[in-house]
Structure 1
Amino acid sequence: MTPELDPVIHAQARLRVVVTLNTLNEGDRITFPGLKDLLGMTAGNLSVHLTKLEEAGYVEIVKAHKGRTPVTYAALTRRGRLAFEDYTAAIRQLLNTTMTPPSGDS
């Protein structure tokens, strides 16, 4: 049976976002401009993908102020980390299935 891949994470740009946020320690967060620069994405494109991940409960967006300057932070939620673990397990299973010859073949 072929494993199901989470369509929210599977989109290339969102996968890049989740992989990057997953490198942070649990509870840590990154500023929106920092994430944008790391990923080489436009602000609009990143915003769209973060919104989709936030709607799924995978990402938490926090808007704050540093002095008088507004700042937006992004972090992977516990649910997001678990979804990413499930996603990577499904990818590994899929790869193992496709690399193992069917039984009975030589």
Structure 2
Amino acid sequence: MPKDARNQSPELDPVIHPINRLRICATLYSAGATDDRQMKYSTLAELTGLPADTLSKQLKHLEGCGYISRAREYGSTRAKDTVWVTLTEAGAQAYVQHVEALKAMTEGL
């Protein structure tokens, strides 16, 4: 291994790094809510412990970066709508790389 390669640590993803976004990505990833599988917004809010306004703001940012996608299933009233959240393939890859970078940092690489 070249000397320079040992001194380079994997990069943290600045999109995922803030704790609330990391919590969201970790929850979706660990639940398997990627590409073909989805998680209800209400379930995601419950599992992350984030208030609705915070969760919505963070999802908007993640969606703008292409890391998650959202779909709305319309009910008879807006209160009965269901929002589904999915970690995209790009989001899942970014999350895995971010976790690997954190592991490398903690192992002193």
TM superposition score normalised by structure 2: 0.81
* Letter of the structure 1 residue corresponding to residue 48 of structure 2: L
Partner of 2:28: 21
Secondary structure of the structure 2 residue equivalent to 1:97 = coil
Which residue of 75, 83, 87 maps to 2:94? Answer: 83
How many residues are aligned here? 98
Residue 49 of structure 1 pairs with residue 49 of structure 2? no
Question: Cα RMSD (Å) of the superposition?
Answer: 1.5
Where relative contact order (Cα < 8 A, 6+ residues apart) is larger, the structure is: 2
State the 4+ residue runs in structure 1 displaced beyond 4 angstroms. none
* Bigger proportion of residues as strand: 1
The 5-angstrom pairing of residues 1-106 of structure 1 reads 1-25=8-32, 26=34, 27-66=36-75, 69-97=80-108
Structure 2 gap segments, 5+ residues each? 1-7
* TM-score normalized with structure 1 length: 0.83
Aligned-partner SS, 2:82: strand
Percent of residue pairs bearing the same amino acid type = 30
